[in-house]
């Protein structure tokens, strides 16, 4: 398997075998890290980390992973670059391509990261767009595989805004890996029909299935994984909060939803999560709308079933695998 020189823009671009290869590489890198074995395979190289939206996990994962691979990093914050304001994506790609061996981009439309990749002579990694969050997918798949020992046949139920980056990406990931995906939400929040159709075709080949349902009982029944994400994503206007709370509250992950899943079901969330009043936005929402928990209750978030912090740690190991694979894995390791 050779992924050297490839971009990592969305999971749709990769075969199940290539995805499995990256997961295996991540598992190997994780084991090496735990044992204190150095993996400075890319000493002397540098990567640019562009964030047009804020981040805790993705930024830290890229920085730590790059350092572990022996590389230097330059972080461009949401306001600290000329991108899109004074300089086009095409020009930025060629400027950075002359200084760095790889470029991470977090921002708005998928078309932006696609254009960046089209012009940059080095691998480009998607650190989240409105449409897709592919590095999160590798972390989620690794976490599920570690927990259940397999991916094939696992039922993953996604509750909440399934038409945005997380819902789209999880549907693709499940279709690719032979898993059963259920979007359990109000019709308005179902993933885009053309993507559903594309995933349906993939599912027909991998043994996966896709279910879109407004019925919580049907959606969560026998789920192995119950997954959710914030109801309002980065870049969306504050005005949508009221509508989202009204429309998505029935799809909150709470004890009843978990009780309807398999007894051994786990709870997952890409994070950050609104499950208590320990955040500024959480407090503001409580004052305005009177609710203290949103997409997940504190009870579920803090329960034994919750594997969100294992999932968050795996962001680092899987992002390291993406960079290592696309920059080239040394022969002696293979």
> What residues line the site for ligand CP (CB under 6 A)?
55-58, 128, 136, 270-271
To the nearest 10 degrees (0 to 180), the angle between helices 165-176 and 16-35 is 100
Q: 106 catalytic, yes or no?
A: yes
Helix (H, G, I), strand (E, B) or coil at 249: helix
State the Cα–Cα distance between residues 215 and 227, nearest whole angstrom. 16
- Distance in angstroms (rounded) separating the CA atoms of residues 62 and 293: 30
DSSP code at position 189: G
Taking the least distance from each CB to ligand NVA, the nearer of 209 and 233 is: 233
The verdict on 89 binding ligand NVA (CB under 6 A) reads no
**39, 135, 157, 165: which one binds ligand NVA (CB under 6 A):** 165
The binder of 124, among ligand CP, ligand NVA, none, by C-beta within 5 to 8 A per type, is: none
**According to CB under 6 A, which one of 164, 227, 251, 301 is a site residue for ligand NVA?**
164
Considering the complex, state which of residue 114 and residue 313 has its C-beta at the smaller distance from ligand CP: 313
Measured CA to CA, the distance from residue 260 to residue 217 in angstroms comes to: 7
The residue annotated as part of the active site, out of 59, 180, 244, 315, is 315
269 classed as catalytic: no
Q: Does 326 bind ligand NVA (CB under 6 A)?
A: no
CB distance 158 to 186 below 8 Å? no
Total residue count of the chain as it appears in this document: 334
Interatomic CA distance for residues 253 and 269, integer angstroms: 10
136 is catalytic: yes
Backbone angles phi, psi at 38, to 5 degrees: -75, 145
270 sits near ligand NVA (criterion: CB under 6 A): yes
140 contacts 173 by C-beta, under 8 angstroms: yes
Active-site residue, 133 included: yes
- Characterise 239 by phi-psi region: left (phi > 0), alpha (psi -120 to 50), beta (else): alpha
Among the listed residues 106, 145, 244, 317, the single catalytic one is: 106
List the single partner that 233 binds among ligand NVA, ligand CP, none, CB under 5 to 8 Å by kind: ligand NVA
Binding-site partner at residue 56 among ligand NVA, ligand CP, none, CB < 5 to 8 Å by type: ligand CP
> What residues from 208 to 237 belong to the interface with ligand NVA (CB under 6 A)?
229-230, 233-234
The DSSP letter of residue 188 is: G
Cβ proximity to ligand NVA: between 39 and 165 the closer is: 165
Taking CB under 6 A as the binding criterion, the range among 100-108, 163-171, 207-215, 252-260 that sits at the site for ligand NVA is: 163-171
- Rounded Cα distance between 268 and 144, Å, is 9
How many whole angstroms from its chain centre is CA 249? 23
Considering only CA atoms, which of 218, 305, 312, 211 is closest in space to residue 266?
305
Is the sign of the CA dihedral 7, 231, 145, 306 positive or negative?
positive
Distance, in Å, from the CA atom of 12 to the CA atom of 177, rounded to the nearest integer, reads 11
Q: Is 199 labeled as catalytic in the residue annotation?
A: no
Identify the residue among 71, 83, 166, 195 touching ligand NVA (CB under 6 A).
166
Q: What is the nearest approach in angstroms of ligand NVA to the Cβ of residue 78?
A: 13
Judged by CB under 6 A, does residue 273 bind ligand NVA? Answer: no
Q: From the candidates 229, 244, 252, 317, give the one annotated as an active-site residue.
A: 229
Q: Taking the complex as a whole, how short is the minimal distance between the CB of residue 44 and ligand CP, in angstroms?
A: 27
Residue 136 C-beta: closest distance to ligand CP, Å: 5
Instruction: Give all strands of the β-sheet with 72-76 in edge-to-edge order.
Output: 72-76, 46-51, 102-106, 124-126
306 touches which of ligand CP, ligand NVA, none (CB within 5 to 8 A by kind)? none
Cα 182 to Cα 251: distance, rounded to the nearest angstrom? 13
Q: For ligand NVA, which residue has the nearest CB?
A: 233
Question: Which amino acids are annotated catalytic?
Answer: 106, 133, 136, 229, 270, 315
Residue ranges in contact with ligand NVA by CB under 6 A:
128, 164-166, 229-230, 233-234, 270
């Amino acid at each position: 398997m050779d992924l050297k020189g490839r971009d990592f823009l969305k999971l749709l671009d990769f075969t199940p075998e290539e995805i499995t290869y990256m997961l295996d590489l991540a598992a190997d890198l994780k084991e090496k890290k735990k044992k204190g074995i150095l993996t400075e395979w890319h000493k002397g190289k540098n990567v640019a980390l562009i964030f047009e939206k804020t981040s805790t996990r993705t930024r830290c994962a890229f920085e730590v992973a790059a350092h572990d691979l022996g590389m230097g990093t330059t972080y461009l914050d949401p306001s600290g670059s000329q991108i899109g304001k004074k300089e086009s994506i095409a020009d930025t790609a060629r400027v950075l391509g002359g200084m760095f061996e790889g470029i991470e981009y977090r921002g708005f439309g998928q078309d932006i990261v696609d254009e960046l990749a089209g012009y940059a002579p080095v691998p480009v990694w998607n650190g989240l767009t409105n449409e897709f969050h592919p590095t999160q997918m590798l972390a989620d798949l690794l976490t599920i595989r570690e927990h259940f020992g397999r991916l094939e046949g696992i039922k993953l139920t996604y509750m909440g805004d399934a038409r945005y980056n997380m819902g789209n990406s999880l549907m693709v990931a499940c279709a690719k890996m032979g898993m059963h995906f259920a979007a359990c939400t109000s019709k308005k929040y179902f993933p885009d029909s053309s993507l559903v159709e594309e995933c349906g075709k993939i599912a027909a080949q991998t043994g996966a299935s896709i279910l879109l349902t407004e019925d919580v009982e049907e959606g969560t029944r026998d789920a192995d994984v119950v997954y959710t994400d914030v109801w309002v994503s980065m870049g969306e206007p504050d005005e949508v909060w009221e509508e989202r709370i009204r429309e998505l509250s029935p799809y909150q992950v709470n004890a009843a939803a978990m009780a309807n899943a398999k007894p051994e079901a786990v709870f997952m969330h890409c994070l950050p999560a609104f499950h208590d009043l320990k955040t500024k936005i959480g407090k503001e929402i409580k004052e305005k709308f009177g609710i203290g928990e949103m997409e997940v209750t504190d009870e579920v978030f803090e329960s034994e079933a919750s594997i969100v912090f294992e999932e968050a740690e795996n962001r680092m190991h899987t992002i390291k695998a993406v960079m290592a694979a696309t920059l080239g894995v040394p022969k002696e390791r293979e």
